[in-house]
Amino acid sequence: MSDPLDYVRGFAVTFRKLFEERVTTQYRGGRARPGQPDEKRPKPPRAHGRHVLNRYEDGMEKCIGCELCAGVCPARCIYVRGADNDPDAPTSPGERYGFVYEINYLRCIHCDLCVEACPTEAITETKLFEFSFTNRDDAIYTKAELLVDDGGRPRHLPWEDWRPGEDEHTSAWMRATSPSGDADYEGRVAWSGELGYGVRAPERGQSGEAAGE
């Protein structure tokens, strides 16, 4: 039989919490975004969100349909099928391009192994992580939904809650950790230009000097 004082102790904990500093944001939501927070907390520079397929500065697609991203994915959520480029109107600079590209977000764990495996920097991740679906078909993103638009921006789908900054610097974290996380490469840019952005500035990484060593 439980001690009656246990109930008193439980209510005492609840009462003390009423006067402590809150770490959550009021989830009110306005008329423009009913049921969504008015403000979001800032995200770290290397936050992993939903993927995008990038283009070169001249508009050509970076994906060459090699399927390495699908092969390395531990959740088996990526499906890629390559096809030969049309010599007269190539889609990518290589011999092949990604004819079919799908990601099943019901299975994706956002480990970013696909980003590390990609030899052409075609797939990266935005900071968007809040997107919900009304049916299972919407959770399978196709190439048309993943490929950036003519300005280099990710396509905003109706069920995605985009806020300023979540579509920027989608490749920043990858540049800071390459090659192999060696701090000697901090501040060096080894990233190809992207449509709408050019060659992005390097991200400040972690080095012995920054850590006070």
Domain boundary assignment for the chain: 47-156+166-204
pLDDT means over runs of 10, the chain (213 residues): 77 84 62 58 76 92 94 95 93 92 94 88 85 87 94 88 74 53 61 80 50 41
Cis previous bond, 179, omega within 30:
yes
- Polymer length in residues for the chain: 213
pLDDT for res 163: 77
What CATH architecture applies to the domain 47-156+166-204?
Answer: 2-Layer Sandwich (3.30)
Q: Could you count the other beta carbons within 10 Å of the beta carbon of residue 146? A: 21
What pLDDT digit, counting tens, does each position of 124-147 carry? Answer: 888 888 788 888 899 999 999 999
pTM of the model: 0.72
- 166: three-class secondary structure by DSSP: coil
Helix (H) or strand (E) holding 78: strand 78-84
Q: How far apart are CA 165 and CA 168, in angstroms?
A: 5
